[in-house]
Amino acid sequence: MLASIKENRGKHLPPRHLAVIMDGNGRWARNHGISRKEGHSAGIKPVISLVERCATIGIEVLTLFAFSSENWRRPREEVLGLMSLFLEALNRQVVELEEKGIRLCFVGDIESLTPVLKKAIQAAEKRTQGNRRMTLVVAVAYGGRWDITRGARLLAEKIVAGKLDPESIDEDLVSASLAMAEFPDVDLLIRTGGEQRLSNFLLWNLAYSELYFSELLWPDFSISELDQALELYASRQRRFGQTSDQVGAISC
């Protein structure tokens, strides 16, 4: 199916920026009669496959929703298990990411994490900062409303300091104040687990994204499912508020 994707890619394929909400680890664990922590652990394998596939087909930025700001409300034991698993996977995978030329970045309220995890994140970012094959962005302790609120606060501080005229604030300035400022907006969002909502993820950056909702629980997510999402993306005309005729004239 990869050949088909390349043949039909046009101007918008593969997407420059793919984002994924990896949902369903807990339900997958329940279905298999194992602990939720084991379910989260099973979700690491499809991440590794996804990263390699995206890098291979030329996606520039892959963003994964690993832990939301709302996830802190989960049972303490599960949160601690998630953080431990996250640290373990990070330390194990960063060497492979470096070897494959993939840059690793993190967005979210990093200060809310443990000192050990913060140190590991900083080390991973520094170790891979020169890689250019693809950028893997991991959203941890992240929420779209947190992101926009933080950005608004940064702009307000500049206004109070006399460094910014309120009249000069436009979409570009707002975008520049957000966590994903250096990356292009998301072209395609994939969410697994059968739910059809954004769950407070990249609210600003998803404004014109194409959406693909998969019934598969995350540990069952496969490359063939990714290819189906990319095929669907290839079939869509992205108009950004224009008419089909206008877009057709531009592409000619």
Catalytic residues: 23, 71
The rounded distance, in Å, linking the Cα atoms of 38 and 81 is 10
The rounded distance, in Å, linking the Cα atoms of 204 and 187 is 12
Across the beta sheet with 210-213, what order do the strands follow? Answer: 102-107, 134-142, 61-68, 17-21, 188-191, 210-213
The rounded distance, in Å, linking the Cα atoms of 206 and 227 is 21
Residue 199: exposure state from Cβ atoms within 10 A (0-12, 13-18, ≥19)? middle
